[in-house]
Amino acid sequence: MKENLYKYILGIADNSLILGQQLGALTGHGPSLETDIACTNISLDLFGQVRSYYQYAAKIKGEGATEDSIAFLRTERKYLNVLLVEQPDTDFAYTIGRQFLFDVYHFLFLNELQKSHDVTLSAIAKKSIKEVSYHQRFSSDWVKRLGDGTEESKLRMQNAISDLWTYTDELFHQTEADKAMVEEQIAVDVTTLKDKYYETVNAILTEATLEIPESKWFQKGGKKGIHTEYLGYILSDMQYMQRAYPNMEW
Amino acid sequence: MSEEQIKSLEKQFEARIARDEKIEPKDWMPEKYRKTHIRQISQHAHSEIVGMLPEGNWITRAPSLRRKVALLAKVQDEAGHGLYLYSACETLGISREELYEQLHTGKAKYSSIFNYPTVTWADMGAIGWLVDGAAIINQVPLCSTSYGPYARAMIRVCKEESFHQRQGFEIMLKLANGSPEQKDMAQDALNRWWWPSLMMLGPTDAESVHTEQSMKWKLKRKSNDDLRQQFIDQTVPQAELLGLTIPDEDLKWNEEKGCYDFGEIDWDEFWQVVKGHGPCNKKRMQDRVGAWEGGAWVRDAAMAYADKQQDKKEKQAV
Amino acid sequence: MKKNWPLWEVFVRSKNGLEHRHFGSLHAADEQMALENARDVYTRRSEGVSIWVVESKHITASNPENNGELFEPAHDKVYRHPTFYDLPDEVKHM
């Protein structure tokens, strides 16, 4: 099995899985029917991407692996998503902040992944980038609305950005598998996206009249499977059926 | 307007409906027509958005990715249907905020079935199969109701609804053909949802207060009892196909009448749930009120931002 | 008093070559949000290729009370319709 490629795909797909799962949990609880429908759409886009990635990963893994065995039957340490996407929905500002900080990265990332020498990954990227371009527009607009809205919303949006900031640097870390895949021109060299990322993020934050956090201390670990405490709960929920009723079809 | 003039207008109005003409928002309408429509359409809209909650409950726990996206899309559709219906209701001169207020204070009702808990995954199947099945029976005739915006909303709703029942039935089918545990889960869900689904089609004709007027206005095309019979007759063979047993010992085919006889419905339970004593009434309202009040700062912020942007535009124009 | 999100009317072109048709309405704080919401609410099943939104308050509507004077005078102008003119059967298509 192509171990590095497999891990590389999980690293991409797990981000969409956990973020999609978090957004999905909000369905029915949003600030208006319209925003509810919009957030569910984003969640559905992400799950669509997840399924394409995992189906590909399952093929690589063989041994009867399926999109579901990969999604539901790993233990905490085997999930390779970044810490950012597993952060909780403290309020709508956190939901939007998390989405925004991820979307800007996601767009830059997919833009490069389109050029991957792996045709499947390149095809998934080409399809997904249109979706993610919309996600970025949606979340950027909301960062501006909340940042430059009322006093209360500004405070909440600022808190969210300041709290989540510490998880942004990890987006540009590379695992050993990533590096190997970059060598083969399959993977995106994420270190090259960093400047553009902060440039875009900072421009939106400025437009939203928010302060750009100064903190230089960043959290990391997700890409190595060392997560924040939140992931365990997300997985308990997500995996409940597959764990309680093993080896069944649904 | 004199009483006589109103009488004459009412007569013309009823004649238009009898001729199958549609009534549109700016047309003259009797006050009672307006009020009845606000009540029924909003009740329908509330049912859609409260109905999101029991199913939304299982989105994070759906057992496969395929089931998860289908459920997400379904619950999202319900938000969409609520939105279409609130919009239709707003054409009658009431705002969505006022309608929410009525829901949150308990003044407006919603379908009682959503006050039952979803305790297992099989409930997603049973709701899609039975609850959406009953809803479709209720809704299809409304596509030709007399009030234009309501009829148009219902056409859209019914078009989208057809996948809901199929996705529910498919879940049941998988469970019914699965492991013994899965089959038990399916039977248990049918046991719990069967009677509430029958109740969902409304009180018996003898007890139903609005029926006659609603028939005239095409808000109702068939009586509750007829709809219920239709639902039972269509659902029993489906249960047989699944190999599941409908929890009613008195259920049997009546050759003479050409339909199924069925047992006594526990109307006392029905009225208790309507009055707020169902297992989840409080929880459902807490969730709705919580989402609305918790989201107030977000809606205010968006409005404040829009105003600021408008100001900027105007200043630039000067 | 707090201001609520205003109502918008949504018009969708289902495919090029067809006109925009009224699809329904929704609430949004500004025009950008109205467009985004319209996309999310009314084109989930690929129903459209183009969207217009307009705040409902900007629509001026005729009053049904005036329908008599507005629309009935057209009823007897039958000469505007091709069927008004008698032609021999030999002239097949005109």
Amino acid, res. B169: F
CA distance B24 to chain C (A): 9
The residues, ordered by sequence, that sit 6+ positions from A79 with a Cβ below 8 Å of its Cβ are A10, A14, A18, A222, A225, A227, A231, A235
Find, among B225, B229, B240, the residue nearest to B190 by Cα.
B240
Confidence (pLDDT) at B47: 97
C21 touches chain A (CB under 8 A): no
pLDDT along chain A (250 residues), means of 10: 94 98 96 96 98 98 96 97 98 98 98 98 98 97 98 98 98 97 97 98 98 92 97 98 96
Which of C28, C32, C44 lies closest to A34 in CB terms? C28
CA distance A80 to A100: 20
The tokens for A39 are: 């957030």
| Chain A touching partners, 3 or more CB pairs below 8 A | B, C
Q: Which string of DSSP letters, residue by residue, matches B127-158?
A: IIIIIHHHHHHHHGGGGG-SBHHHHHHHHHHH
C-beta atoms of B65 and A35 within 8 A: no
Confidence of residue C67 (pLDDT cuts 50, 70, 90): confident
CA distance A40 to chain B (A): 7
Confidence of residue C89 (pLDDT cuts 50, 70, 90): confident
Least confident interval from A14-23, A120-129, B288-297, C74-83: C74-83
Residue-wise pLDDT for B18-36, tens only, equals 999 999 999 999 999 999 9
C-beta atoms of B297 and A152 within 8 A: yes
Q: In chain A, whose CA is at the least distance from the CA of C28?
A: A34
Confidence (pLDDT) at A184: 96
Q: In chain B, whose CA is at the least distance from the CA of C60?
A: B26
Residue A215: HSE in the Cβ half-sphere, 13 Å Cα cutoff: 13
CB B113, CB B198: distance < 8 Å = no
- A2 Rama class: left (phi>0) / alpha (psi -120 to 50) / beta: beta
C26 touches chain A (CB under 8 A): yes
Residue-wise pLDDT for B94-123, tens only, equals 999 999 999 999 999 999 999 999 999 999
Q: Does the pLDDT at position B274 exceed 90?
A: yes
Q: In chain A, whose CA is at the least distance from the CA of C7?
A: A34
Name chain B contacts of C44, Cβ cutoff 8 Å. Answer: 76-77, 80
C-beta atoms of A34 and C27 within 8 A: yes
Name chain B contacts of A91, Cβ cutoff 8 Å. Answer: 294
Residue-wise pLDDT for A56-97, tens only, equals 999 999 999 999 999 999 999 999 999 999 999 999 999 999
Confidence of residue B2 (pLDDT cuts 50, 70, 90): confident
Q: In chain C, whose CA is at the least distance from the CA of B81?
A: C41
Q: In chain B, whose CA is at the least distance from the CA of A37?
A: B76
Q: Does the pLDDT at position B210 exceed 80?
A: no
Find, among A128, A143, A124, the residue nearest to A200 by Cα.
A143
Confidence (pLDDT) at B214: 87
Confidence (pLDDT) at A215: 82
Q: In chain B, whose CA is at the least distance from the CA of A238?
A: B61
CA distance B302 to chain C (A): 6
CA distance C26 to chain B (A): 7
CA distance B243 to chain C (A): 34
| Chain C touching partners, 3 or more CB pairs below 8 A | A, B
A175 touches chain B (CB under 8 A): no
Q: In chain A, whose CA is at the least distance from the CA of B79?
A: A33
Instruction: Find the Cα–Cα–Cα–Cα dihedral A130, A135, A138, A141, rounded to 10°.
Output: -100
C27 touches chain A (CB under 8 A): yes
CA distance A86 to A98: 9
Confidence (pLDDT) at B48: 97
Which of A38, A141, A145 lies closest to C40 in CB terms? A38
The number of C-beta contacts closer than 8 angstroms across A and B is 140
Which of A34, A41, A138 lies closest to C26 in CB terms? A34
CA distance A186 to chain C (A): 33
Residue-wise pLDDT for A152-169, tens only, equals 999 999 999 999 999 999
CB B215, CB B231: distance < 8 Å = no
CA distance A32 to B181: 39
CA distance B171 to A238: 18
B303 touches chain C (CB under 8 A): yes
B123 DSSP β-pair partners: none
CA distance B49 to A152: 28
Choose from C41, C46, C63, C65 for mutation: most chain B CBs within 10 A. C41
Confidence (pLDDT) at B153: 96
Instruction: Find the Cα–Cα–Cα–Cα dihedral B145, B110, B229, B117, rounded to 10°.
Output: 150
For residue A45, the Cα-to-chain-centroid distance in whole angstroms is: 12
Q: Does the pLDDT at position C1 exceed 70?
A: no
Residue-wise pLDDT for B211-237, tens only, equals 778 889 999 888 999 999 999 999 999
Name chain B contacts of C61, Cβ cutoff 8 Å. Answer: 26
Residue-wise pLDDT for B119-174, tens only, equals 999 999 999 999 999 999 999 999 999 999 999 999 999 988 888 999 999 999 99
C29 touches chain A (CB under 8 A): yes
C-beta atoms of B301 and A35 within 8 A: no
Find, among C9, C8, C18, the residue nearest to C49 by Cα.
C18
C-beta atoms of A38 and C36 within 8 A: yes
Segment C59-80 shows an average pLDDT of 88
C-beta atoms of A148 and B291 within 8 A: no
Name chain C contacts of B152, Cβ cutoff 8 Å. Answer: 24
CA distance A132 to chain C (A): 14
A74 touches chain B (CB under 8 A): no
B24 touches chain C (CB under 8 A): yes
Which of B62, B72, B178 lies closest to A44 in CB terms? B72
B160 touches chain C (CB under 8 A): yes
Amino acid, res. A187: A
B28 touches chain C (CB under 8 A): yes
What percent of chain B is modeled with pLDDT above 90? 89
CA distance B33 to chain C (A): 17
C-beta atoms of B97 and C4 within 8 A: yes
Q: If contacts are CB pairs under 8 Å, which of residues 195-224 in chain A contact chain B?
A: none
3-class SS shares of chain B: helix, strand, coil, % to 5 = 70, 5, 25
The tokens for B77 are: 């559709």
Name chain A contacts of C27, Cβ cutoff 8 Å. Answer: 32-34
ipTM passes above 0.95: yes
Q: Which string of DSSP letters, residue by residue, matches A77-96?
A: GG----GGGGS--SSHHHHH
Confidence (pLDDT) at A247: 94
Confidence (pLDDT) at B318: 79
CA–CA distances in Å: residue B153 to residues A128, B86, B118, B132, C38: 32, 10, 28, 17, 15
Confidence of residue B205 (pLDDT cuts 50, 70, 90): confident
CA distance C35 to chain B (A): 14
The tokens for C45 are: 């099943």
